[in-house]
Structure 1
Amino acid sequence: MSVKRWTGKESQLLRLAVRKTIRQFASDIGVSGRMVSKWEAGGIKVVPRPSNQLALDTVLSCAGPEVQERFATSLTEQAAIDADPRTETLLAQKAAYHRHPVDGRLMALVGEGMYLSGETGEAQWLDAFYIDVFPTTNADYGRFVAATGRSAPKHWGVTGRCPDDLFDHPVVWVTWHDAQAYAGWAGKALPTSHQWEKAARGAKGNIYPWGDRATAAKCNVRDSGIGHTTPVGRYRSGASPYNVYDLCGNTWEWCATRSVPGRYELKGSAYTSPFERAAPSSFNDANSDMCDDDTSFRCVAEHPWSRMDVKP
């Protein structure tokens, strides 16, 4: 990854990502500790000189993937805070969820009633339902594979075991049939496109899960420059009115709604797609046998089935 222009804000986030003191970080860059302190105190108002910009570029490019991931996460969250005054409240919010009795996953209740759907805001009535708070992760899918003997996704490799660093990323390389099989095993169902859209937009038909403001920093899309899936709980400020995550970006998600014979709707956009495709009202579909590195799913369940509230 790269930074177009370093300011004191990005410099501080990088120092925290490499987990060094001001003196240690200053030594890496070749400046005094007093200089680094001045940058951090000035924040976005301070722009280091070109030679120091190059030094910061070098520190970032030479950092390991874990450091770069920490830096990207901090940069994304800071950008979201800067763009939306609600963010700090949302980040601190502790929503009550419900744990499904079969697969144990956290689900959010979407109450019955009307919601405004599609680009034209057409009123639709839906009965109450539960929806998974997060997309199905590799860890979730691993339990399904172990219980049923179904083939593992191709990115798990010849061992058929998920890489340790992807446990909390959405499972990918799954067809619609794979998603449907998981839902059946868990005693759930894939969401209809209307259920998925209401969970994303709320009853008032927000353009995006977080509201009507186009803020690419709140999701993992091509514009973010990350280039791969991210942990499902990363974009907290991008949660929907029902506190459901990753309903914009990260991965496309299979729905139960058939568009034409053999094809089913996909919702949510992905890290491979531009932000302009991320609006939950957007239409996309694919052949039921399609699988790719940017396609996943989540499930829904009937209401009621449990009254046990839990904290994430």
Structure 2
Amino acid sequence: MKPGYRTQGLVALTLTLGAFMGLCAGCGCWGKKEEPVQVAVLIESIPEPGASVLMAGHDQGYTPVTIYGLQPGSYEVIMNLDKYRRKIETITVTEAVEQKFTIEMEPIVGDVSISSTPEAEVFLDGELIGKTPILKKVLQVGSYSYEIKHPDYYPVKKDFLMEENFKLEFEHELRPMESQLTVTSRPSSANIWLNNIAQAQRTPASIVLRPGRYLVSVHSDGFVQADSMVVLEANAPQTVHLEMSAGKVPQGMVLIPAGPFTMGTNEQAPDERPAREVYVPAFYIDRFEVTNQAYKKVVSSHTFPKGQDNFPALGISWTEALRYCEAIGKRLPTEAEWEKAARGSDKRIYPWGDIFSPQMSNTKETELGMPTRVGYFYATPSIHGCIDMAGNAYEWVMDWYDAYPGNHDVTKDYGQIFRILRGGSYLTEKFEARTSARHFDRMDSGRRDYGFRCAMDARE
């Protein structure tokens, strides 16, 4: 081999390798590491935005938020939003350059029930949600306001705070809108009573009243009182016209004409015997039991439950009843007068007739357990127009208790110890409410169901 041949080949090889090395160095490919993929992740929350996001150990802001520089892999996302439960969810980030994750938050809730009498529309935060009753409506925690509306009743508004797992219940008795009652009469300029309470106006008059039952009465001197029962509906005006006949019956009383009637009975309790004809001169008797309001005007120390002005005065002894009657120029009725006013001349068992019904009077069978306002049972008067002569309140009469003349069944002489009460009460059964039934007690006894009504001699 010629000298230098091999050397030339070796140099050529070395140059080639050097050139290659230089080329690699120039392009930067020699020893370069592979760069990881970078992605952008959008995280949203439903049903509301604004949840805080904790991810990869850092606070990332509030949804909707885009997080840059994440490498593919699994990440734990922790999200918090007011009124929602804390949410922890694992997401898997891929090599896609842009990715979106929508995470549903679970609201913290309770429920509310809303009822009313009568049925009415309910608006929650101004939006109609239905009619009462609204039952177990699920609401997210927070502050709310509802309004109950009915065209004939005043609206009710209420604010409330719902908290986690609360079960709220609201009940409302809606207050009806007033109605206008117009009262006219012949003759006009008559005094007006509503449920036995005197009014300031005279006929013709328009009076604004709450819905309910009203016994409307008018009276003028020289005329007999006229009455009518009116049922007022909410926001519904009515007119009632009453005609008075000539007569001199005192206001609030009825005239019981003179004449005989059958007193007592042979078929019931021994002390009601014998049935016999009794003549009773003409007299006046109150249509209603004496009320709390009337009694308190004379006896200022008298007390009674709020709202019971027009209920019978109860807890009254015979002595107190007599004192009241005398103070207003009247008296207690005799036992015979009371029975004639209740029974009439046809021997009826109850003031309205011979058939008993719990809807006709306030006795134990009616199951009210308390007295009613006077005149409530206006539809079942006695034949002479007296109201509540069966039930509601026992009524004192003038007489001492003893056996009737001709009674051979009761042999005991009671003497002048007990006074008589008639008519039964809300605490007694129908047997005591019969027109012939007798009850007695000491004259100083003021049992809680003892009341009375007054009488007067008829004017000549």
**TM-score bucket (shorter structure):** 0.5 to 0.7
Amino acid at match of 2:322: Q
Taking a change above 3 Å as real, the CA distance of residues 230 and 266 of structure 1, as seen in their structure-2 partners, is same
The answer as to 2:270 corresponding to 1:128 is: no
Candidates 190, 206, 220, aligned match of 2:332:
190
C-alpha separation in 1, matches of 2:277 and 2:134: 57
How far 1:98 moved relative to its partner?
Answer: 6.2
* Bigger Cα Rg: 2
Q: Counterparts in 2 of 1:91-110, with a 5 A limit?
A: 100=250, 106-110=252-256
The answer as to 2:313 corresponding to 1:171 is: yes
Larger RCO of the pair (alpha carbons < 8 Å, separation 6+)? 1
In the alignment, which residue of structure 2 is the partner of 1:236? 378
| Structure 2 counterpart SS, 1:199 | helix
In the alignment, which residue of structure 2 is the partner of 1:34? none
| Structure 2 counterpart SS, 1:194 | helix
Amino acid at match of 2:372: T
Amino acid at match of 1:27: T
How far 1:269 moved relative to its partner?
Answer: 0.3
Contact 1:108 1:132 in 2 (8 A): yes
C-alpha separation in 2, matches of 1:115 and 1:189: 22
| Structure 2 counterpart SS, 1:238 | coil
Candidates 240, 250, 261, aligned match of 2:416:
261
Amino acid at match of 2:132: S
Candidates 295, 299, 313, aligned match of 1:141:
295
Q: Counterparts in 2 of 1:47-58, with a 5 A limit?
A: none
Q: Counterparts in 2 of 1:142-161, with a 5 A limit?
A: 142-146=296-300, 152-153=301-302, 156=303
How far 1:29 moved relative to its partner?
Answer: 8.2
How far 1:304 moved relative to its partner?
Answer: 1.3
| Structure 2 counterpart SS, 1:265 | strand
Taking a change above 3 Å as real, the CA distance of residues 205 and 237 of structure 1, as seen in their structure-2 partners, is same
- CA displacement 1:146-188 (0-9 Å, x = unmatched): 4xxxxx34xx2xxxxx444111000011111000101111111
C-alpha separation in 2, matches of 1:262 and 1:304: 32
How far 1:20 moved relative to its partner?
Answer: 4.0
C-alpha separation in 1, matches of 2:306 and 2:320: 22
In the alignment, which residue of structure 1 is the partner of 2:260? 114
| Structure 1 counterpart SS, 2:374 | coil
C-alpha separation in 1, matches of 2:336 and 2:443: 19
Amino acid at match of 1:293: R
Amino acid at match of 2:344: G
Considering fraction of residues, name the structure with more helix.
1
| Structure 1 counterpart SS, 2:345 | coil
Candidates 227, 244, 252, aligned match of 2:394:
252
C-alpha separation in 2, matches of 1:95 and 1:263: 44
Contact 1:98 1:107 in 2 (8 A): no
In the alignment, which residue of structure 2 is the partner of 1:224? 366
Taking a change above 3 Å as real, the CA distance of residues 122 and 171 of structure 1, as seen in their structure-2 partners, is same
Taking a change above 3 Å as real, the CA distance of residues 95 and 122 of structure 1, as seen in their structure-2 partners, is farther
Q: Counterparts in 2 of 1:32-51, with a 5 A limit?
A: none
Contact 2:119 2:133 in 1 (8 A): no
C-alpha separation in 1, matches of 2:340 and 2:133: 49
For structure 1, the 5+ residue unaligned runs are: 1-16, 31-61, 68-72, 75-89, 147-151, 157-161, 306-312
| Structure 2 counterpart SS, 1:136 | coil
Q: CA RMSD of the aligned region, Å?
A: 3.2
C-alpha separation in 1, matches of 2:335 and 2:314: 19
How far 1:99 moved relative to its partner?
Answer: 5.9
C-alpha separation in 1, matches of 2:342 and 2:381: 8
C-alpha separation in 2, matches of 1:94 and 1:292: 38
- CA displacement 1:52-103 (0-9 Å, x = unmatched): xxxxxxxxxx776x99xxxxx99xxxxxxxxxxxxxxx96897969663xxx
In the alignment, which residue of structure 2 is the partner of 1:215? 357
TM-score when normalising by structure 1: 0.63
Taking a change above 3 Å as real, the CA distance of residues 279 and 211 of structure 1, as seen in their structure-2 partners, is same
Aligned length: 222
Q: Counterparts in 2 of 1:293-312, with a 5 A limit?
A: 293-304=448-459
Candidates 25, 28, 50, aligned match of 2:133:
28
C-alpha separation in 1, matches of 2:278 and 2:359: 30
C-alpha separation in 2, matches of 1:27 and 1:286: 52
Amino acid at match of 2:284: Y
Q: Counterparts in 2 of 1:56-75, with a 5 A limit?
A: none
In the alignment, which residue of structure 2 is the partner of 1:7? none
How far 1:244 moved relative to its partner?
Answer: 0.6
Amino acid at match of 1:106: G
The answer as to 2:335 corresponding to 1:180 is: no
Amino acid at match of 2:354: D
C-alpha separation in 1, matches of 2:277 and 2:379: 27
Considering fraction of residues, name the structure with more strand.
2
Amino acid at match of 1:142: K
Contact 2:119 2:132 in 1 (8 A): no
- CA displacement 1:109-168 (0-9 Å, x = unmatched): 00011112112342111100000000000011011124xxxxx34xx2xxxxx4441110
